[in-house]
Amino acid sequence: MLAQQRQAAILDRVRAAGGVRVTELAAEFSVSDMTIRRDLEALADRGLLAKVHGGATTVSPGSAHEPGFTAKSVRERGEKAAIAMRAAALVSPGDAIALSAGTTTAELAQRLVDVPALTVVTNSIPVADVFYRAGRADQTVVLTGGTRTPSDALVGPVAVAAIGALHLDMLFLGVHGMSERAGYTTPNLMEADVNRALVEAAERLVVLADHTKWGTVGISSIVPLARAHVLITDDGLDGAARELLSETVPELVVVNPQ
C-alpha cells in the first residue's frame, strides 16, 4: 500500500469516527507506530487533523461550543467502541434504522456495514460516507437534507421535513449530555429539532451515551430520559446515576470496555 493511500485512509477514519489511536492504525495497516505517527504529523501539518496523545482527532474549526474532539475523546474511544458494539447487536438484517450525528453513531455505523439489506437514514454526512464507501448493493442509505453544522450534521426545516415522511424500526441517538432534569441534550438548537423528528419517526429509541455524558447539560433538550426504550452506557457511570437511570429507562445496558 502506498504511503499516500494510507494517509488518505487514516483521514477517512478520523473523519468518520472522530478520532483514532496510533496503535489501532499500526495494527490495521501493518506498519510500525512510528510510521503512523509520521503520517499523522504530515496530515496535521496540512491542518487536516489534530494530533493528540495516543492518536489524532478531527480538527474542530472554531467550534468552541461543540464539545469537540479533544485528547479526551481519543481516550474515550474504548468506551464508545464497546457501546457501539453492543448497539450493533440490536440490529437485524433487513431493518430500517436511523442514526443521528455523532462520534458514537459513526463508530456504530462501521459495525453495521456488513448487515445485509439494511436501510439507514441519517443526517450525518460522515455516517452516510461509511456506508457509501462499503458500497453494498443490498443496503439503502438515505441522507436527510438540510444545512450543514460544523460537526457535519444536516439540520434545519429541510431535514425535519424529510424525516417527517419516514417511519423506522429503530433510532440510535448519540447525545452530548444527559441529566435527570434536562433529559438528553445537545449544544445545537437546530440539531435538537432534527433529533426530535428522528425520535418521532422511529418505533424504538436507543440512546448511546458514555458515562462522561452524565451531568452534562447542552443548551437544548431533545427528549426526557424516560422516552428512551434502551440506554446503552459504560461502567464508568457512578452508582447513584446508575440506580436512577435503571429506574427511569425501561432498559439500561451497561457495557464493560475490556
Distance CA 10, CA 251 (A): 36
- Looking at 146, 177, 183, 187, which residue binds a copy of itself (CB under 8 A)? 146
**Using the rule CB under 8 A, is 1 a contact of a copy of itself?**
yes
Stretch binding DNA (CB under 7 A), from 31-39, 89-97, 109-117, 180-188 = 31-39
Cα 230 to Cα 41, 134, 162, 197: the distances in Å are: 40, 28, 25, 18
* Contacted by 111, from DNA, a copy of itself, none: CB < 5 to 8 Å by type: none
Q: Which is nearer to a copy of itself, 12 or 244 (CB)?
A: 12
Spatial separation of the C-alpha atoms in residues 71 and 69, rounded to whole Å: 7
Length of the chain: 258
Classify burial at 113, counting beta carbons within 10 Å of its beta carbon; exposed 0-12, middle 13-18, buried 19 or more. middle
CB of 110 to DNA, least distance (A): 20
| Contacting DNA within 7-26 (CB under 7 A) | 21-23
Q: Does 55 bind DNA (CB under 7 A)?
A: yes
Q: Binders of DNA among 219-238, rule CB under 7 A?
A: none
The strand order across the sheet containing 183-186 reads 177-179, 183-186, 220-223
Query: Could you tell me the three cell numbers for 238?
Result: 457512578
* DSSP SS3 for 217: coil
Q: How far apart are CA 14 and CA 12, in angstroms?
A: 5
Q: Which of 16, 84, 112, 128 binds a copy of itself (CB under 8 A)?
A: 128
Residues 65-94 within binding reach of DNA (CB under 7 A): 71, 75
Using CB under 8 A as the binding rule, the residues of this chain from 23 to 62 that contact a copy of itself are: 52-55, 57, 61-62
Determine if 3 is a binding residue for a copy of itself (CB under 8 A): yes
* β 119-122/183-186 pair status: unpaired
When CB distances are held under 5 to 8 angstroms depending on the partner's kind, the choice from DNA, a copy of itself, none that residue 38 binds is DNA
Q: 185, 219 in Cβ contact below 8 A?
A: yes
Q: Which residues bind a copy of itself (CB under 8 A)?
A: 1-5, 8, 12, 18-19, 21, 52-55, 57, 61-62, 125, 128, 132, 135, 140-148, 154, 156-159, 161-162, 165-166
Q: Which residues bind DNA (CB under 7 A)?
A: 3-4, 6, 21-23, 30-35, 37-39, 41, 51, 53-55, 71, 75
